[in-house]
A and B are shown apart, each in its own frame.
Chain A
Amino acid sequence: MLDIDIADLKRISELIFQKYNYDFRNYAMSSFKRRVLRIMELKKLTAEALLKKLTDTPTFVNEFLDELTVNVTEMFRDPSFWRIMREEIIPAIMLNHKQFKIWHAGCSSGEEVLSMCIMLKEMGILHDVTIIATDLDVNILEKAKNITYPIKNMELNEKNYIRFQGTSSFKNYYKEENGNAVFDKNLLMNVSFRRHDLVLGDIFNKFDLILCRNVMIYFNQSLQNEVLKKFHESLFKYGYLAIGSKESLIWCDYANRFIVVNNEEKIYKKIKD
């Protein structure tokens, strides 16, 4: 069975940082190890051969990044979360601003962005919202812009949509072409996609709502702490932050600058600058 020790994993993350300026040094070790093993298996490389390839072949790094980052997601994941968004969080934001801004941080292949757009459209406010969706990986951003997904994923997505109690029929949002579900591009009219690195990148805008669900689970605690500071700075006062249902902020330095709005769905509100 393929294996890799921690020393080699550290050599890989150090090399990628020094040579390519991507920082995986503070990623959670268990999942980072699985991702690297997966690449070794896929490309039939030993740890030494992988290090050599990353050193000698700069173009390989994009492929490496694409496989390393976790891009498994579904539309309307946790339907109860989306119901709370529709019934409580978005209306609360709209009490103060008719127009507002949302950041999807670590948007991956875009299913969550698309879910948001469908929900906003059904609420009749898609025009009033500016959405910025970012990811580290340029290849996955292209997928997100295309909003074209394998038709076999639609069964699960539709089930989630029904549990979310959407007001339309899920099938109205896409057309079937060559085994793919091709979603209506108009849904993305107010979305801009851009490459952004949560670890090394700067603050670039202020938002009323940030969604970053199941992204920080791949970071160790010290990196989670740093990223939360960036989210804090990127939120307007009384803006909202949503993380994954089994993530927690309580051990972060900035935890006391937020209050819990919904503990089941892990929605927080910034209350202190």
Chain B
Amino acid sequence: MSKYNLNNSYKAVVIGGSAGSFQGMVKILSQLPKGFPLPIIMCLHRLKHVRNGFVEALSIKSVVQVMEPHDKESIKKGAVYLAPANYHMSVELGNHFALSTEEMVNNSRPAIDITLGTSAFVYKDKLVGILLSGANRDGALGMKQIHDRGGLTIVQDPAECMIDTMPRAALAVTKIDHVLKVDQIVEFLKELDKQYR
């Protein structure tokens, strides 16, 4: 019955976003089904030198408390993670995070390409990648890596985005499986959740 042709083999959902993605992200987190079975790994562009506040703002309406992981912290099912300020966040083999202070990528730290690309490497075809509104090209290459390794790719509908550069950049470099509005992304995640019940 699912129009997305889903199954229960997915191991993680990774989400990237930048300018104009905050409201959408809040909506997704607030309507997440209770007991959502997969880890949600978010990399959102943020002020480099403001450590506090962002995770709290995202958590206010979220069904699950959002966490900024420590270096080498294990990735748990059903947890929601946010890349911390001024660190790149990678997923490592062995199912944990690794943080780094390397050079900025696409003028960003955290960079979405790094979180998406390393997730693609570890989870291969067991990954759902979602890219939201944003004003630069960060994340496009990461989405390509997700697609190339067999993962499922979704971008926010450019028509709905406050700034559509980011999803358009992804659409230009790789095959995107679904172009969805935020409400449809919520619906998609509910469908995905049902596969595990």
Show the binding face of A for B, using Cβ within 8 Å.
1, 6, 28-31, 34-35, 70, 72-73, 77-78, 80, 159-160, 163, 214, 216-218, 220-221, 224, 244-248, 251
Contact = CB atoms under 8 A, between A and B. Distances in A.
Interface residues of B, number: 25
Interface of B: 49, 51, 68-73, 84, 86-87, 90-93, 98-103, 114, 118, 121, 141
Contact of B102 (A29, A34, A247): A34
Contacts of B90: 28, 30-31
A5 B132 CA distance: 30
Task: Describe B's contact surface by its main secondary structure.
Answer: loop
Given A72-B101, A72-B103, A245-B84, 13 more contacts: A28-B72, A28-B92, A29-B92, A31-B102, A80-B51, A214-B101, A217-B98, A224-B72, A245-B51, A246-B84, A246-B99, A248-B71, A248-B73
18 contacts: A6-B93, A28-B92, A29-B93, A30-B98, A31-B100, A34-B114, A72-B102, A73-B101, A80-B51, A160-B49, A217-B99, A217-B101, A221-B72, A245-B51, A246-B70, A246-B99, A247-B70, A248-B72
Contacts of B141: 1
A251 B71 CA distance: 11
A30 B91 contact: yes
Contact of B100 (A70, A77, A220): A70
A260 to B, nearest CB: 13
A247 B99 CA distance: 8
Contact of B70 (A80, A220, A248): A248
A3 to B, nearest CB: 10
A220 B171 CA distance: 36
Closest 10 A/B residue pairs (Cβ): A30-B90, A248-B70, A217-B71, A28-B98, A31-B100, A214-B101, A30-B118, A247-B71, A30-B98, A246-B84
Contacts of A246: 68-71, 84, 87, 99
Contacts of B102: 31, 34-35, 70, 72
Contacts of B91: 30
A226 to B, nearest CB: 14
A77 B93 CA distance: 29
Contacts of A221: 72
Given A224-B72, A246-B68, A248-B71, A31 B98 contact: yes
Contacts of A163: 49
B71 A244 contact: yes
Nearest to A30: B90
Nearest to B88: A31
Contacts of B68: 246
A78 B100 contact: no
A73 B99 CA distance: 15
Contacts of A248: 70-73
Nearest to B144: A1
A220 B71 CA distance: 10
B171 to A, nearest CB: 18
A243 B69 CA distance: 15
A247 B114 CA distance: 19
A263 to B, nearest CB: 11
Contacts of B93: 6, 29
A220 to B, nearest CB: 8
A170 B27 CA distance: 43
Contacts of A35: 102
Nearest to A214: B101
Given A72-B103, A221-B72, A248-B72, A30 B92 contact: yes
A113 B187 CA distance: 52
B140 to A, nearest CB: 12
Best-buried of B73, B102, B103, B141 by chain A (most CB within 10 Å): B102
Nearest to B96: A221
A30 B103 CA distance: 14
Contacts of A34: 100, 102, 114
Contacts of A224: 72
Contact of A159 (B49, B73, B99, B100): B49
A160 B49 CA distance: 9
B96 to A, nearest CB: 8
